[in-house]
């Protein structure tokens, strides 16, 4: 995987890792950072909280940053609204296409919730009103 990242980035590495999963691939992702890259800790959907070797952050002059969206939104309500409007605009113009992997009619909301809570969802799980 690291070799594929190097090939895709011309040997540079990635500028930002957005990690909502944690787990066994977290260290691989950290090692794939470019010089002064940022590793964003979003959550631990895998159930495993990773342990990072501090020397990798030092050698790459990288940052490991916790991103707790709910608290950030509460502390920055104007910016949060702007972000949501910007995201909605990207979706509307087709520049951002959310990956929907499961769709349920509203009356099957318990099945949708189970897909999320049992960590079977690989993308967005949506409820439809039809």
Based on the fold, state whether residues 6 and 46 are members of the same structural domain.
Answer: yes
Domain carrying residue 124: 98-130
User: Using one digit for the tens of pLDDT, what is the confidence trace for 21-50?
Assistant: 999 889 999 999 999 999 999 999 888 999
Q: Looking at the 3D structure of the chain, how many domains does it have?
A: 2
- Short-list 34, 27, 39, CA closest to 11: 34
Question: ∠ CA 74-78-81 to the nearest 5 degrees?
Answer: 90
User: In this structure, are residues 47 and 20 in contact, taking their beta carbons and an 8 Å threshold?
Assistant: no
Query: CA-CA distance, 122 to 101, in Å (whole number)?
Result: 6
Whether this prediction's pTM lies above 0.75 is answered by no
Residue where a domain terminates, one of 70, 90, 113? 70
| Alpha-carbon radius of gyration of the chain | 18
Burial-class residue 129 by CB neighbours within 10 Å (0-12, 13-18, 19+). exposed
pLDDT of residue 82: 97
pLDDT, position 128:
96
Report pLDDT digits (tens) over 71-86.
Answer: 999 999 999 999 999 9
Q: Is residue 21, in this structure, part of any structural domain at all? A: yes
């Amino acid at each position: 995987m690291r070799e594929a990242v190097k090939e895709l980035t011309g040997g540079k590495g990635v500028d930002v890792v957005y990690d909502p999963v944690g787990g066994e691939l977290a260290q691989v992702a950290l090692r794939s950072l470019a010089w002064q890259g940022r590793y964003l800790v979003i959550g631990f959907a895998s159930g495993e909280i990773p342990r990072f070797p501090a020397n990798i952050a030092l050698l790459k002059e990288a940052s490991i940053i916790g991103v707790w969206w709910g608290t950030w939104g509460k502390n920055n309500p104007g910016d949060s609204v702007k972000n949501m409007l910007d995201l909605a605009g990207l979706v509307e113009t087709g520049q951002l296409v959310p990956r929907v992997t499961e769709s349920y009619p509203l009356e099957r909301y318990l099945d949708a919730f189970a897909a999320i809570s049992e960590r079977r969802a690989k993308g967005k799980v949506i409820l439809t009103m039809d």
